[in-house]
């Protein structure tokens, strides 16, 4: 919960009264400490205008439609009021009674053979989906777009590599006539970044120097 910025943790009739002392992940202690305990689900979701229950979707015929998590979370994000996300016990999931408090049911698209998830992992996946970047992926990313080496640097690399090939005796081994074009195409096919250009040129220069100055 803390990883994805949520802190309103509510428990209904928990079995373990000592849950507050449970060892929590780094940064999650405040979530446990501020957890609120309710005797009934009705009280726990009293201030929520949308309650979404989670289910593995097996072993029972739900009286409600089960949506994929992605679809349910779109509804949750656009909901104008408080949204409750409801998880059952790891062993039994939500009862039919519990589900009757839900406006909708969602399920994580797990493999058909292994639908039942670890509770903590299911919560992580649901909250991740809830805050996940939707269609506007580009907006929040800080990834630098790939910035390729200039055409003139590419050509300088090509020329210098050809010189290395010639001086090392490599050129004789391949059909000479097409080598220059082959090397040129190859240098362009590699995604050589702007910062890589000087590095590659420096290496080639040093190799040539060594050819000319053997010990």
Chosen residue from 19, 62, 88, 193 binding a second copy by CB under 8 A: 193
Question: In the Cβ-directed half-sphere of 64, how many Cα atoms lie within 13 Å?
Answer: 23
Q: Which of 111, 151, 175, 177 binds a second copy (CB under 8 A)?
A: 111
**Spatial distance between the Cα atoms of 200 and 168, rounded to a whole number of angstroms:** 17
For residues 184 and 180, what is the distance between their CA atoms, to the nearest angstrom? 6
H or E stretch at 84:
strand 83-86
Question: Distance from CA of residue 70 to its chain's centroid?
Answer: 14
Among 15, 59, 92, 140, the residue binding a second copy under the rule CB under 8 A is 140
Nearest to 53 by CA among 95, 17, 92, 11: 95
At its nearest, how many Å lie between a second copy and the CB of residue 183? Answer: 9
Is 207 near a second copy (CB under 8 A)? yes
Q: Quick one: tokens of 138?
A: 């580009």
The answer to whether 108 touches 153, Cβ cutoff 8 Å, is no
Residue 133 binds a second copy, judged by CB under 8 A: yes
Nearer to a second copy, 35 or 164 (CB): 164
Among 18, 23, 61, 143, binds a second copy (CB under 8 A): 143
The span from the CA of 16 to the CA of 208, in Å, is 72
Q: Which stretch binds a second copy (CB under 8 A): 14-22, 44-52, 76-84, 166-174?
A: 166-174
User: Residues in the site for a second copy, rule: CB under 8 A?
Assistant: 2-5, 25-28, 65-68, 70-71, 108-111, 113-118, 120-122, 124-125, 128-129, 131-133, 137, 140-144, 161, 164-165, 167-170, 173, 186, 189-193, 196, 199, 202-203, 206-207, 209-211, 214-215
């Amino acid at each position: 919960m803390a990883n994805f910025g949520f802190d309103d943790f509510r428990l209904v009739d928990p079995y373990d009264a000592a849950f507050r002392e449970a060892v929590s992940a780094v940064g999650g202690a405040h979530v446990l400490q501020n957890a609120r305990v309710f005797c009934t689900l009705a009280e726990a979701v009293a201030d929520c205008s949308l309650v979404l229950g989670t289910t593995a979707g097996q072993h029972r015929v739900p009286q409600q439609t089960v949506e994929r998590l992605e679809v349910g979370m779109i509804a949750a994000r656009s909901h104008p009021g408080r949204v409750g996300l409801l998880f059952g016990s790891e062993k039994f999931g939500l009862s039919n009674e519990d589900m009757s408090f839900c406006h909708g049911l969602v399920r994580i698209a797990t493999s058909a053979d292994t639908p039942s998830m670890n509770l903590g992992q299911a919560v992580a996946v649901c909250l991740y989906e809830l805050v996940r970047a939707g269609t506007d992926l580009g907006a929040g990313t800080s990834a630098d777009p790939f910035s390729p080496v200039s055409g003139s640097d590419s050509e300088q690399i090509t020329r210098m590599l050809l010189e290395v090939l010639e001086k090392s005796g490599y050129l004789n081994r391949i059909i000479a006539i097409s080598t220059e074009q082959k090397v040129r195409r190859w240098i362009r096919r590699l995604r050589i970044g702007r910062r890589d250009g000087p590095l590659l040129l420096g290496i080639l220069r040093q190799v040539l120097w060594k050819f000319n100055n053997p010990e």
